[in-house]
Structures are given as C-alpha cells and as structure tokens.
Amino acid sequence: MKTKSGKSRSVFAHIVLIILAFMCLFFFYILIVNATRSHAELQRGFSALPGSSFVANLQSVLNDPAIPILRGVLNSLIVSGCCALIVTYFSAVTAYGIYVYDFKLKKAAFTFIMMILVMPTQVTALGFLRLITSMGMDDSLLPLILPSIASPAVFYFMHSYMQSSLPKELVEAARIDGSSEIGTFNRIVMPLLKPAIAVQAIFTFVGSWNNYFVPALVITSKNKQTLPIMIATLRGADYMNFDMGKIYMMITIAIVPIILVYLLLSKFIVEGVALGGVKE
Amino acid sequence: MQKEKKIKSISYAKWGYIFILPFFLTYFIFSLIPLFDTIRNSFYEYYTSGLKVIGPKWVGFQNYISLLSADLPKYAWNTFVMWVLGFVPQIVIALLLASWFTNNRMKIRGKQFFKVVIYLPNLIMASAFAMLFFALFSNAGPVNGILKGLGIISEPIRFMESTLGARTLVALMNFLMWFGNTTIMLMAAIMGINPSVFEAAELDGCTNSQKFFRITLPQIKPLLTYTLITSLIGGLQMFDVPQILTNGQGAPDRTTMTLIMFLNNHLKSKNYGMAGALSMYLFVISGILCYFVFKINMDKDPDGSRSAAKKARKLAKKGGQA
C-alpha cells in the first residue's frame, strides 16, 4: 500500500518534470528549426522539421548593413569580457580589504555595501546619463564597463567565500616572508579564490551580455550597439512582413552562444547558483 | 615590543583603505553623484519639447503630485499584477521540485538533466526571449499554427491584443526564466536542514506532506522571505520583456506598461523633471526592500530563538534587580 502511493507520487513527479523541461526546451527548438526555414516556408505554417535555408538566412543577416550583427557580437564580447574581469578582480580587492585589515571605518564600509546590496541601478539612471554626457562618455562602451568596479553582490559573495576558505594566518605568513601587501593579494590570495572568481565571472559575463536598459540609453550610434539593442531594433522594424527567417536567425545568434557555453559548464554553473543562494 | 605592534597595526590600517578605495570611489562617481542629480532634477520643471528646452524651473513637489494623479498608479498596478502572475507559480513549482529533488526516498531519474534544463532559461537574453515569444505567439506564428493543426482552434488566438493574453505572456516568460533559479536556491536550503530531524520524523511515522509542511517549510522560512523580497525588487525592475514584446507601447491600451518602461519613456524624451520624480518613488520603494534584505543578511539569528533567549535573560536580570 505504502509503496504503491510512493510509486504514483514518483510517476506524477516525473510527468510534471517532463512537462516543465518540455516548456523550457520547446521554444528554443522552434527557434532553431525556424532559423533554418525561409520566409515562404514559415508563411506556410509550422513544421517540426528543419528547412534548408540555414545558410541563406545566415548570409542575409550578416550582409544587412542596417543591423551590423557581427559588430554587435564584438561589442557585446568586449563589454561582457571586460565587466567579468573588472567585477571579479575589484570585488575580490574590496572584500580582501574588509576581510583582512582592521581599520576604523571597516564596519561602516561593510554595512554600507550591505545596505546597497540589491539597490536597482535604474533609480539613478537619469543622473548617470547626465553625468556621462557631461564627462563626454556618452555613446561609448566605457560607461557600460567602468561602474562595474562597484558590484555589491559580487563583493558579498567574495567576502563570504574568504570567510570560509581564506585563513588570515596565510597572509601573516606571507608578510613574514617579506611579501608586499599588494603582492600577497595578487600572487597568493587571487589563486586561492579561483573557484569563486570562475563562478562570478560566468554570471557577470552572462548578465552583461543580456543587459539592455542602460546600454540602450547610453549607446546611440549603430556601430557601438550591443546585441540586445540590435534585437530591440528588430522589433521596431517591419522585417516581420518580409523576412521572418532572418529574425529567427538573429535571435539564434544572440542566445545560442550562451546556451552552448552553459551546456559545457552546466554542472559547475548550477552548483554556483546554489553556492550564492545559501543564506547562513 | 608593544610599541612595535602598535605601529604595525596602524600601517596596515592604511592598506584597508587602499583596498576599498576603488569600490567606494566608483560608487561615489557613478551612483551617488547621479543620485543627488536625480533628486535635484525631480524638483524642477525641465523637459524638451520639439527642439525647445523648457526650464529648468523650480516647481517643488509638483512633479511628484502630477505623477500620482496621472498614470503612475496604473503602471505600478500593471507591474504588480504581472509580477504576481509570474511569482506565484514560480514559488509553488520551485517548492514542489526542490522537495522532490531532495527527497531520498523518491528516485527521480535524470535529476541532473532536469536541473540543467530548468535553469537554462535564466541565462537567456530577456530581450531576445521576448522577441522570440513575439514571433511565436503572433497571429500567424507557430503557436497558433500548431493549435490550428491539432484542431483545437479554428481562428488564431490574438494573444497580444487582449490585456489578459499580453500580461500572461509576460508572466509566463518571467516564470520560465526564474523558477529554475528559485528551485536550485530552495534545494540548497532544504539540504542544509539537519537530516536527523527528518529521520526522527520518519521514525515517528510522519507522512511526506507532514514532513513538508511541519519541517521543511518552517526551516526554510528565512530563505523564502529572502526569495520573496529579491523577487519583488526584480519585479520592480521589470522592463526588457514587456518593452520588447510590446515595442515599448505597453499594448493593449498601456496595460502591460511597467514602471521602468515609463521611466524609460521619460528618459528617452528628455523629460528630466518627471524622470527624476519617478526615480525617487522607485528609490524609496527599493530602499524599503533593501532594508529587509539587509536585515535578513545581517541577521545571524534567523529564527529569532537567540534574541528571544536574550530577552528572557534581560527580563530575568531586571527581575533580579527589582
């Protein structure tokens, strides 16, 4: 009796899981299938089998001067790559400063960062835009990268990580061996933080790759646009009426690289989410 | 010896300030200065009409009042409705999945596969995802095509032309993007519960649902609160999905227009006064939510048992003195 109810429960669980997994994958499946079909084929209705226009769609995307998608990929790579490097390095620097040293404002500094931990950047967007305009940094990639030096959430992650796996005695030992403070950090502490840095670098990269609100306000010229801005221009244009295959192909270019990287690192990433989520 | 130690600690304190300087300098330049500028602008009439710039002229709280009496409550309500529509299924499904995944008695096959798949949408570019949904759910799109092919409908469903349809699509996307993330967070919290508690409950003959409602839920309450509040902050920032799905129009009839879409419109049209006042409303709400997150993170005593003990001790002490 008991095993029977357990069994039906388990069957139910599997059905729910399969439905959810189907929902998560189905849309991407249609996306990829449709990216291989021509506009005429798409007009005729849905088909579960891929078409033969993959190359044609890709070519029409790459040759469209109105939306320089390769330039967009490059811009997105620059911004996301720089952000990932800067965020992880400077968050580790800040966390190390507060974790290792004793100074008067230590507690105040930590409290302040914890207070702004989840403050949305949108609330200061107005002042931010006016500031970078007056600094002559509007319509450049720099204001999308520089502010990430101050990333409270990554700081908090690094600080917790140091508390659990960076013994202060190690810093003392390095000092006795004559290592300078910055040298100790760069040569001894940073290598120890590798697992934390890897997790946060991935999340920062993805977050920055997908970021739309601020870049859309900062960037005005076409050859500086990042991918999300280009996707948004698709929605505004009336491509819908004459080349749907092209639209599906552009969406594919924007999201498939991330999916591929994710599938390669999935186990690591899923563990990283759990690591960041545990509140002690 | 003691003197030397003192000198040493002073010289190291300097390094603390050096290490935290980049963070605070950056935050000061790119967040605090903009914050003060935003506050200042909120009290001015200052906008661009055609090629003409009107203002800046001091108007006090006029911007705040006119926002409240105009569209702001409507957009706040839209944002809230779409958040609820996405969050409720998200938390229910996440709790269900997390308790299944962590239940040793239940043999879920392909657990790792499911975990990887449900987290996937969280990494997808929201704007591209919205564009994809726009294409898929359009009147001549594949979803209508499939439903027609299966004989379920004869006329295409006009998803994006009804308030319920458009809001549900936004909520569905938010749900898909976040339920996997929440599941994994809740799993970590459930696995952090002392297993001997469950073993004892099993020995006492607890059923699965009793274990879930009497042990799991109360134990992970702090994380549930945390998830609720961070999700509220995320909901407040809802922008990419409805913006792309409706091309910034909030169609139909601005019923999917969110607060940040409204802010975006004011920023684009260079209405600094209104954008400033709207930002300040958002700032105050975010500030309150930030405070709760702060409390939860800084609280080393999430279930309140320690503070209760402290209180009891204090009372006892008082009693002793009197």
Question: pLDDT (tens digit, 0 to 9) for every residue of chain B, 322 residues total?
Answer: 444 545 444 468 889 999 999 999 999 999 999 999 999 999 988 888 777 777 788 888 888 998 898 889 999 999 999 999 999 999 999 999 998 998 877 888 888 899 999 999 999 999 999 989 998 898 888 888 888 888 888 888 888 888 999 999 999 999 999 999 999 989 888 888 888 888 888 888 888 888 888 888 998 888 898 889 989 999 999 999 999 999 888 878 888 999 999 999 999 988 898 999 999 999 999 999 999 888 888 876 545 555 566 666 666 666 544 4
What pLDDT does residue B322 have?
42
Amino acid B307: pLDDT: 57
Q: Could you tell me what percent of chain B has a pLDDT over 70?
A: 89
Residues of A in contact with B297 (CB under 8 A): 114, 117, 156, 279
Tell whether B168 is covered by a domain.
Answer: yes
In a domain, B297, yes or no: no
- A24, A102, A185 member nearest B13 (Cβ): A102
Is B14 a domain residue? no
**pLDDT tens track for B150-173:** 888 888 888 888 899 999 999 999
> What is the model's pTM?
0.89
Residue B319 confidence (pLDDT): 55
User: What backbone torsions phi and psi does residue B55 show, to the nearest 5 degrees?
Assistant: 90, -165
Exposed/middle/buried for residue A115 (C-beta within 10 Å: 0-12, 13-18, 19+):
middle
B147 close contact with A: CB closer than 8 A: no
Q: Is residue B64 part of a domain?
A: no
ipTM for the complex shown:
0.90
Whole-number pLDDT of residue A5: 66
By the 8 A CB rule, do B102 and B257 touch?
no
Cβ-nearest to A123 among B184, B286, B300: B286
Q: Could you say which residues of chain A have pLDDT below 50?
A: 1-2, 278-280
Q: Is B157 an 8 Å CB contact of chain A? A: no
**Does any CB of chain A come closer than 8 Å to the CB of residue B225?**
no
Contact A272, A202 (CB under 8 A): yes
The rounded distance, in Å, linking the Cα atoms of B208 and A187 is: 51
Which residue from B minimizes the CA distance to A231? B128
Quote the pLDDT of residue B53: 78
Q: Would residue B115 count as lying in a domain?
A: yes
- What is the third-level CATH fold of A66-237? MetI-like fold (1.10.3720)
Domain assignment of residue B234, given as a range: 71-269
Query: How many CA atoms lie less than 13 Å away from B176 in the CB half-sphere?
Result: 27
Residues ≥6 apart with Cβ < 8 Å to A63: none
**CA torsion through residues A66, A71, A77, A78, sign:** negative
What is the number of domains present in chain B? 1
Question: Nearest CA to CA, how far is A202 from chain B (Å)?
Answer: 10
pLDDT attached to residue B315: 63
Alpha helices in chain A (DSSP H): 2-35, 39-43, 54-62, 69-100, 106-115, 125-134, 142-145, 152-165, 168-176, 181-183, 190-192, 194-210, 213-218, 227-236, 244-277
In chain A, what are the domain boundaries? Answer: 66-237
Q: Within a domain: residue B16?
A: no
> Is B293 among the domain residues?
no
Nearest to A212 among B108, B240, B297 (CB): B240
Q: Is B282–A147 a contact, with Cβ atoms under 8 angstroms apart?
A: no
Residue B59 phi, psi dihedral angles, 5° rounding: -130, 10
pLDDT digits (tens, 9 = 90+) for B44-71: 888 887 777 777 888 888 889 988 988 8
CATH code where residue B180 lies = 1.10.3720.10
Residue in chain A nearest B188 by alpha carbon: A274
CB neighbours (10 Å) of residue A72? 24
